[in-house]
Chain A
């Protein structure tokens, strides 16, 4: 997906000015608009809302900073993290979040500061078109580590264990085990074929096409579907 707007910002607020209608004839109730500064002047004396600050926050929220090869550079840190230079500001050990991890893992990546409130620094609208091959590879490696999702090739066995079911599966990374609770929604059907399993420890496993599973394997999953 390509960004809809140019780099630096996206979208904009609706018209700020309020159109004014004419005064209605009596007996309609149509109070005059009061100057904003006078409103709640004494009743809300502690000024719980700072209007200027709120406007600034609104504008900040509205603004979506987009990172691309012109304004951002990523480097790998010695600890395996990512170092970012964006608009001449350096950020150590930034975090990347996939906002659409299942359907479009490389679009609208949220780049976040790892310190403090972990505020968003900006977003990568489309990794594969907005950066060079080296950066793409660097970021994909990072994402592969942080969004490790083995693909289940075979369900070896499922064993009921006091309200939990222990699965032994064969994945593209080898054989592994995970547990699911009998009464929870652990499996998300992303399409008629594609399933995502989230185990009790929040690990994710993918079944790209449930139709490739045997009847015996489907039977083991059936209670969770």
Chain B
């Protein structure tokens, strides 16, 4: 699809979000048209009627109003009332238009943001790993506002300003064609310059977007990595780096404002010249050409119309700028909405009933980059209810293996089966219900401790939440908190220690009651003492569940029914601890190294 078609297509798609508001939009447009019409009436009342009819005591005009030929005071009063009514009506229509706009805009913005957010939820993990958080946040937060503002502020304005422009021209030519022609003599130059300057402005908007995006990424990095920044004492350096991005945004804004000012100056200059020309020629006609039909009132009316032309002209140029800005945003939003997730649910996926939970991998090959496999032709069976310990050096493919079983990625070759069913044929809701992960990255959402424990089961009762916390060894520390289970945690809540967070994440998994449990370095980030305590909870959690446990500390895998050693994506050893130890291979080496290292630290 070429660029122009793409933009038109995006525009039509955005319009569908306004479909529920068609009556509102129609009413809003009528308000705009009424305001534009009233703006045309005002100069006529203010100039021609007041000066050329009332002040010159035109008796015919009074008779048309149904007044006596000498009732000039009443006539004046009527004109003043008409002028007042014009302003009041304009105000009423402006308020009405504002109310309608307030009804439409927040809802459309909200639905656009929800669409993008919902689409992001459907996308596979690889999308988030390949995208910068700041960029994605910009797309949700800013782009929806920009797109909507085009339809609510610009589009109706475009219609009404076009209407005002054309109607003003018609009235001007009707009132006095020669004077109208004089006032428009510079218009072709203006249009020519406009066409020449606009492409440059488009480029400046692009610069601003890129600068804002980079700055958002930098802010996000600094907030999430605040601890690292402080630990390395890099605050000043980070400030300098931020200043660089901030200056880029500032420069981009200034470029736009400078360029915009040139536009404004040009339009104002043309309008001033036009006004001067109208006044000069008008005055000349009044003084030297009595038969020209121009009077003072008409001249004032004309000058008002020329001034009024400036608004639509400036707005039209503004529209072109905002159009580009808005539809760039629309395209970025639809890029997310239209993105195809790498992992998809089959339409024909049937409800899955879990039996014993046997996991089987058949010739599984996978790589984040398909040309560089991380796992090579893996064959493995984990009988239901048993625990498999996965051992290996960093980068051996341990986490990748469990990510495939959770179906966060799909293998390039081979199959993964649970109870004989390919996981690609299982509905996501079933798969997620049966599998839970406890990893070293314990993420607590903004909310109470109770809400965090009940994340997978928001309908859980207080009794169930407490029971899960007790089993996870979290109940006692929760009771020590002044607000108990209602302590707010998360980014701006109560700071909990690594061990406490890990216990909450175990409680979350206990409450989820999964059939298959994945422990991905679940105790790696806690001290040995806490690890022992957490291990007790994990012992309970793994009972009766098919468990895959990854751990660098081999002692945590002591209960594994079987172990595999991964190296460069291959299973190089497998068996029980005793078998592997006897084998004196990689597992034995790792075990020996770890035992020595721990002994040196005095921990064992």
Contact residues of A with B, CB < 8 Å?
1, 3-5, 10-11, 13-22, 24, 27-34, 36, 38-41, 43-44, 46, 48-49, 54-55, 57-58, 61-62, 64, 97-104, 107-108, 110, 112, 119-120, 123, 125, 185, 188, 190, 198, 202, 204
Contacts and interface: CB of A to CB of B under 8 A. Distances in A.
A29 B389 CA distance: 13
A123 B486 contact: no
Contacts of A1: 461-463
A34 B360 contact: no
B539 A103 contact: no
A123 B466 contact: yes
B463 A108 contact: yes
A24 B381 contact: yes
Nearest to B493: A185
A194 B450 CA distance: 18
B535 interface: yes
B476 interface: yes
Contacts of B299: none
B544 interface: yes
6 contacts: A1-B462, A3-B463, A4-B463, A14-B545, A19-B357, A100-B462
A27, A58, A112 pick with most chain B CB within 10 angstroms: A58
A29 B484 contact: no
Contacts of B471: 58, 61-62
B492 A39 contact: no
A10 B479 contact: no
Contacts, number: 175
A4 B386 contact: no
Interface in B548-604: 555, 558-559, 561-564, 571, 574-579, 581, 591, 595, 604
A64 B536 contact: no
Nearest to B380: A29
B559 A39 contact: yes
A31 B576 contact: yes
A79 to B, nearest CB: 22
Contacts of B450: 100
Given A44-B555, A101-B484, A39 B463 contact: no
Nearest to A3: B463
Contacts of A190: 486
Given A18-B386, A101-B484, A29 B466 contact: no
B463 A43 contact: no
Given A28-B381, A31-B574, A43-B581, A10 B463 contact: yes
Contact of B539 (A27, A43, A54, A120): A54
Given A14-B543, A99-B485, A4 B461 contact: yes
A49 B578 contact: no
B425 interface: no
Nearest to B468: A11
Contact of A29 (B386, B462, B467, B564): B564
Contacts of B591: 43
Interface in B473-487: 473, 475-476, 478-479, 482-486
Nearest to B594: A43
A28 B479 contact: no
A97 B467 contact: no
A6 B167 CA distance: 82
Q: 10 closest pairs, A vs B, by CB?
A: A21-B383, A18-B385, A24-B381, A34-B576, A31-B562, A21-B358, A99-B484, A19-B356, A29-B574, A31-B575
A30 B196 CA distance: 74
A120 B476 contact: yes
B532 interface: yes
A113 to B, nearest CB: 12
A13 B537 CA distance: 12
Q: Which of A38, A54, A125 has the most CB of B within 10 A?
A: A54
